[in-house]
A and B are shown apart, each in its own frame.
Chain A
Amino acid sequence: MEKKFILTAFNYEHAKFLVTNYHSQMNRLVIGGNKYSLRHIGEFNLSQIKKTAELTSINNVKLFVNVNKIMHNRDLNSLEFFLKELDDNGVDGVTFSDLAVLSIVKSKNLNLLLEYITETTITNTSFSKFAFDNECQSIELAKEITLDEIHHIAENKKSQISIYLHGHLYMYQSVRKLLNNYLEFQKKDIEQKDYFLFDSERKVYYPIIENEQGTHILSSNDLCMVNYLDKINIELIDGLKIDGFGYTESNYNDIIATYLIAYKLLIENPNKYQDNKNDFLNEIKTNNPQKKFSTGFFYKETIY
């Protein structure tokens, strides 16, 4: 079975758990935990990155580090240093959105694979050609396109294609500290709380997070495609990402387990997958009662 899954790790111990248990289905492990990564789920210092790289290497899993924020000039020198360190410490690749990363990796001849991920803008086949022309191995498609569009891109791809299969749906990022600005205006202090924006017209709650990178707002639903795996032309897709952001480590592990069982069943016994697919969804729903799930834009055509 081809290794397709892209998983994210909370910390070294978690990385070890994932790699040990799932290396046969895991294409890639992605870690954040540095000042250039957005919405990461755990901290990884350099020695932990190095240990993780050793672990992934012997288990034939690729290790990618997220350096996916939009870079400013003040970031460039330290970014270059950091990328060199990643290269020196056995990291296989980086996921990036800012062309500064591409520029440094190429101009310094770093031996790092490149995956281009902007989350919202990689919406068509030309990005795959762009990736190929610019020596990036892979792109992760935007979450705002339909499954038909995903298939069309995958049929015409020039690079590897990853899709986001499960996890939070990011929809807004600002450098402005909006929570702090608003609470200051309201003469309140920001507290260690889980904040939400209530949309009274749609009666939904959007998680809002503020950190050193600014403000992030997420959709009220998480993407969950566990019961639609049979609809995806998996042959054409190189990477299937299950993201842990917004979950506890144990809930995330359960979700991964469900997907891997579902996927294996789909490959080995498609009829049985059909019979069980709603059970997979229900399992995830039951284990995560605080979350709402949807199929995102896979079956929703936007207007403009």
Chain B
Amino acid sequence: MKKPELLCPAGNLQKLKIACMYGADAVFIGGIEFGLRSNSDNFTIQDIKEGVEFAKTYNADIYVTTNIYAHDNNYKGFAEFVKDLEDAGVKGIIVSDPGYIEICQKVAPKIEIHISTQQSAANKYAVEYYKNLGAHRVVLARELSLEEIKETTNGVSVEIEVFIHGAVCSSYSGRCTMSNHMTMRDSNRGGCSQSCRWEYELMYKEDDQYIAVELDQEEVKFNMSAKDMNALREIPKLIEIGVDSLKVEGRMKSFHYLATVTKIYRQAIDLYLKDPDNYQVNPKWELELQKAESRETYTGAMISDLSKKGQLFGNQYQRNTHEYCGYVLDYNEDTKLALVEQRNHFSIGSSVEFFGPENDLIEIVIEQMYDLDMNPVQRVNQPLTNVYIKVDNKLQKDWLMRKAVK
């Protein structure tokens, strides 16, 4: 049985480190230019170098997304950029534009070409064609069922990557320009305004008049919004199929999301590989994933279900059940004090959970808290404030603290 790569997103250097620490085999990041997600933090070349070095200590690879569909004025600096990536030790680029592919092959031949899902490769002939064009890996379209993933993976001699978790386009990727038409923002160059998540009134035309469709629930407007992907239950099948890389979406997502999702999939993959016969999805994993999600999730296309169950009608912006509120900078076993950097307010009496890459959750109610001069503190409202929290269980540096959202 082949061990698939767990590939996780990172919007900045700190998140890249978290992804590595929490179990990613590879991390994908974006440069300042050339990648979709103009609103993500994105990495300078210096950050990328540092990221590659850090990832090495965890045996993790770094890929860089350069997956816009360029216009002719988007080539300036690209050759230098991929050359720099090669020098920095980046393993591959995720790319869809034929011009970018050709430049990369010419000036940075050591870098692997991974065909982005923006190309919506949905069949084995197309995948094989990309291989012949020099692709090392193809990221499949998110419309495929497990059966189709299997046929495609078995039918070709190139690495296959599939999305397993996170937000998805409800259209074929690369084939949606609603954002261009509605807001003048180019979806295929990273400017997507997410018009699919907006609300529209469904009308029909009769005798040249627009008439609103009568609805059962007036308040629930039309949208194209898909539930986020969640393929936790399909991990064994994806491993059995022999998919090379399992990808988590979300370069713009939080630390909390990244750490939680990475950790759970790491556990699921490792447990299945270790003992496939007795493997079961741990119900705690699903609860954990729920704590970090900002939308409802569904397995969707992978289980051949593109029905209304996969649509987010009405309740689009469900808050996560838990929020990230602190980062553990240090823990002193003698004093049992954890030094925590605040990311969201908490106070004496708050129920909080600590978790690291491998441990079970440590749940406590905060009873004692001190500032750096050891004066007692009641509440911490200021972001990035450092405080000591008394925690009897042993914590470790780089663990996260979260609390339930009321």
Contacts and interface: CB of A to CB of B under 8 A. Distances in A.
A144 interface: yes
Nearest to B201: A198
Interface residues of B, number: 79
B220 to A, nearest CB: 7
Interface stretch (B18-26, B173-181, B251-259, B366-374): B173-181
A72 B123 contact: yes
Interface in A89-135: 98-100, 102-104, 118-121, 123-127, 129-130
B71 A126 contact: no
B123 A173 contact: no
B184 A303 contact: yes
Interface stretch (A176-184, A226-234, A253-261): A176-184
A71 B189 contact: no
Contacts of A175: 143, 172, 301, 306
A120 B174 contact: yes
B116 to A, nearest CB: 11
A71 B172 CA distance: 12
Nearest to A187: B216
Contact of B99 (A124, A186, A199, A202): A124
B185 A303 contact: yes
> Which has the most chain B C-beta neighbours within 10 Å: A172, A300, A303?
A172
Nearest to A179: B202
Given A73-B123, A121-B188, A125-B99, A182 B38 contact: no
A176 B226 contact: yes
A103 B127 CA distance: 10
Nearest to A206: B200
Given A119-B175, A152-B72, A303-B184, A182 B143 contact: no
A178 B176 contact: no
B151 interface: yes
Given A99-B130, A193-B205, A185 B311 contact: yes
A197 interface: yes
Interface in A289-304: 290, 297, 300, 302-304
Contacts of A102: 129
B40 interface: no
A75 B123 CA distance: 9
Given A185-B311, A300-B184, A76 B124 contact: yes
A128 to B, nearest CB: 10
A266 interface: no
Contact of B174 (A121, A303, A304): A121
A70 B125 contact: no
Interface stretch (B42-50, B207-215, B263-271, B389-397): B207-215
B242 interface: no
Given A153-B72, A198-B210, A303-B184, A173 B172 contact: yes
Interface of B: 38, 68-75, 96-100, 102, 118, 120-126, 128-130, 141, 143-144, 148, 151-152, 155, 170-172, 174-178, 180-182, 184-186, 188-191, 196, 198, 200-206, 208, 210, 212-217, 220, 222, 224, 226, 301, 306-308, 310-311, 313
8 contacts: A73-B148, A73-B152, A103-B125, A123-B71, A178-B311, A186-B213, A188-B213, A303-B185
Given A99-B125, A129-B98, 11 more contacts: A70-B172, A73-B155, A76-B124, A120-B176, A124-B75, A130-B98, A178-B311, A185-B220, A187-B216, A205-B210, A304-B190
- 8 smallest CB-CB distances across A and B, nearest first, come from A126-B99, A304-B191, A100-B125, A197-B200, A304-B189, A302-B186, A181-B308, A130-B98
